[in-house]
Chains A and B, each alone.
Chain A
Amino acid sequence: MGSHPRSDRRRFLTSGGALAGFVMGATRPGRSQTAAPYEPQGLLAYGQPSRFANLVRRTTGRPTTITDTALMTPLQELDGIITPSGLHYLMDHVNGIPDIDPRQHRLLLHGMVDRPLTFTMEELKRFPSVSRIHFLECNANSRPLRGPNRESVQLVHGRTSCSEWTGVLLSVLLAECGVQQQASWIVAEGSDSNRYTMSIPLGKALDDALVAYAQNGEPVRPHQGYPLRLVVPGWEAIRAVKWLRRVHVVDQPYMAWHESGNNADTRPDGKGLWFRFELGPKSVITRPSGGQHLPGPGFCEITGLAWSGGGIVRRVDVSTDGGRTYREAELQQPVLPHAHTRFRFPWRWNGEEAVLQSRCTDQRGEVQPTIEEAAKILNATIDYFYQADHFNGIQPWKIARDGSVTNALP
């Protein structure tokens, strides 16, 4: 924890470089005519962003012996809809990131199936594959904060990232095994020290769950589940099991640790809720956002991200007067199901106080609520959301006359 996100890659490069040197040394003798093949080293072998770009994951947590501290994506620094893999947010319950040799890795599918099967990575890649752009989001994302950390879109909303995932649809693998009629759930298990476990209704597993081996064009990174991750589009990312090694087809949810007591919400009436599954429609303005500063009046495009567990983002409306009036923002293509969607809104700041906020409506017609509306739905006070998960309320940012931007949630 707390280690610089680039140090891993550097370590990898150092050992890779050493290996390349060894190979070159071995082939040199007696070939004075032919130059040794050029092996690019360091940043030429695998590039890095400019040292002037402020691209770092940050956290509000403290270092612990386990990786249960969230490292958040710097949404305010990013453009378009794809999160670079090295900036994907992290939130794990594991004792160390598994270091898995893909040649040893197996995926086992068994339980209520006609033909249990195991697959090597090579066999999996022989199946018809698909590439799909999907966001992942932690159920604790966007929980309103008090104190200085609330002045940062990264620290409040940075537990979401969006990638192009490539892999085999779980439905294809399950069909290969022949799911039996009495089955109604799957239990997915990782190969980390916890053998992290999650139950998922069979309906979702057969709909669009993806057994992904690649992320943004390269193998899934170790922190994201190398060599295999289960991507469950639009659902709370606690279901997106990393280091996937087993899919057990069953007829009941297994109530594993991280899906029962540990990730449940308690409703204001005292009822506990497991299995929230689908995430609500959400949007947030990433520029200008908390902690930033407008140098002066004049034109300033408002931009941000919208997404929904309900599928496609149908529209985003932006208000510059704290929600009194809204106008529709432009959605930048591509607009894809269960993916971050980039919105843009032209704005000329007149130098007066303003409150900027965005509102997402998804393909089902569900509308992102204000914190007051969300409280009404749950019959709660707004303080409830400062402790609960699954908050998808509207985020207002206040522009002061001096151009400073602060969080305007109560």
Chain B
Amino acid sequence: MRCRERLLAAAVTLAACVPAQAQGPTYGLGRTPSAEDIRAADTAVAPDGTGLPPGRGTARDGAGVYAQKCAACHGPNGTGTALHRGLIPLGNAKPVKIQGSLVPYATTVWDFINRAMPWTKPGSLVADEVYAVTAYVLYLNDIVKDTDVLDATSLSKVQMPHRDDFIPAQPGWKPGTRRQFGNYPKRQ
């Protein structure tokens, strides 16, 4: 099974002219990280919820965290301060043609708060706090109710406004792919 996969991969590789994919190592440099090292580094969360840790929280739980750890910069009501942007709406795609949050997945909000906030002490929140304060930020944006429970299964199901207003990413980029909205001469 594994062998067949490799053969297939090798065939695909040859077809795509990519060198040495799915073969043994050529140079033998580097070390194998321990499972623990990988777990510690691997904090990113995907739109389908892959990577979310256990934990839970509601906007009600998050109000206190917000007042204590976020309000100083983002304002007591999330509308921002002299130095820092507000959290309503989320994101700032340009030009602002769409009213409301422009972040397409709730996991994106969770992941950013988890990795980068609070600004001066990133990584200091425990999972329950991240779920709760994410719920609070979404609540400020009228996206969830104050009692909605966010956890590893419900977070990716939150329907963000405008999710379907975005043109999906193109995974199949290959060398030579034509640029979207390019100015190519008519006849070619």
Residues on A lying within 8 angstroms of B by beta carbon are 64-66, 95, 108, 110, 114-119, 123-124, 126-127, 171-172, 174-181, 184-185, 187, 189, 193-195, 197, 199, 201, 203-204, 206-208, 245-246, 248, 250, 252-257, 260-268, 270-278, 280, 309-310, 364-369, 373-374, 377-378, 384, 387-389
A118 near B44: Cβ-Cβ < 8 Å = no
Assembly CA distance A250 to B48 (angstroms): 12
Assembly CA distance A124 to B31 (angstroms): 11
A193 near B166: Cβ-Cβ < 8 Å = no
Point out the residues of chain B lying under 8 angstroms from A175, CB to CB.
19-21, 23, 26
Q: Known interface pairs A195-B116, A272-B93, A378-B181. Does A117 touch B30 (Cβ–Cβ under 8 Å)?
A: yes
> Which residue of A has the minimal Cβ distance to B112?
A257
Assembly CA distance A185 to B172 (angstroms): 9
| Nearest 7 Cβ contacts at the A-B interface | A261-B91, A387-B95, A261-B103, A257-B112, A264-B93, A272-B166, A117-B30
Residues on B lying within 8 angstroms of A by beta carbon are 5, 8-9, 12, 18-27, 29-33, 37-38, 41-48, 83-84, 90-98, 101-105, 107-108, 111-112, 115-116, 119-120, 122, 162, 165-167, 169-175, 177-185, 188
Point out the residues of chain B lying under 8 angstroms from A267, CB to CB.
97
Identify which of A206, A268, A365 contacts B97 (C-beta below 8 A). A268
B22 near A178: Cβ-Cβ < 8 Å = yes
Point out the residues of chain A lying under 8 angstroms from B120, CB to CB.
95
A176 near B25: Cβ-Cβ < 8 Å = yes
Point out the residues of chain B lying under 8 angstroms from A367, CB to CB.
183-185
A254 near B47: Cβ-Cβ < 8 Å = yes
B18 to chain A, nearest CB (A): 5
Identify which of A181, A257, A266 contacts B12 (C-beta below 8 A). A181
Q: Known interface pairs A194-B116, A203-B174. Does A261 touch B181 (Cβ–Cβ under 8 Å)?
A: no
B25 near A260: Cβ-Cβ < 8 Å = no
Assembly CA distance A363 to B24 (angstroms): 36
Task: Label chain B's interface by main secondary structure.
Answer: loop
Q: Known interface pairs A254-B44, A266-B96. Does A108 touch B38 (Cβ–Cβ under 8 Å)?
A: yes
A265 near B30: Cβ-Cβ < 8 Å = no
B166 to chain A, nearest CB (A): 4
Point out the residues of chain B lying under 8 angstroms from A252, CB to CB.
46-48, 171
Q: Known interface pairs A176-B29, A256-B44. Does A261 touch B95 (Cβ–Cβ under 8 Å)?
A: no
Identify which of B8, B21, B102 contacts A206 (C-beta below 8 A). B21
Q: Known interface pairs A65-B83, A248-B44, A274-B169. Does A366 touch B179 (Cβ–Cβ under 8 Å)?
A: yes
B92 near A261: Cβ-Cβ < 8 Å = yes
B97 near A207: Cβ-Cβ < 8 Å = no
B92 near A262: Cβ-Cβ < 8 Å = yes
A262 near B91: Cβ-Cβ < 8 Å = yes
| Listed residue (B27, B91, B182) with the most chain A CB atoms within 10 angstroms of its CB | B182
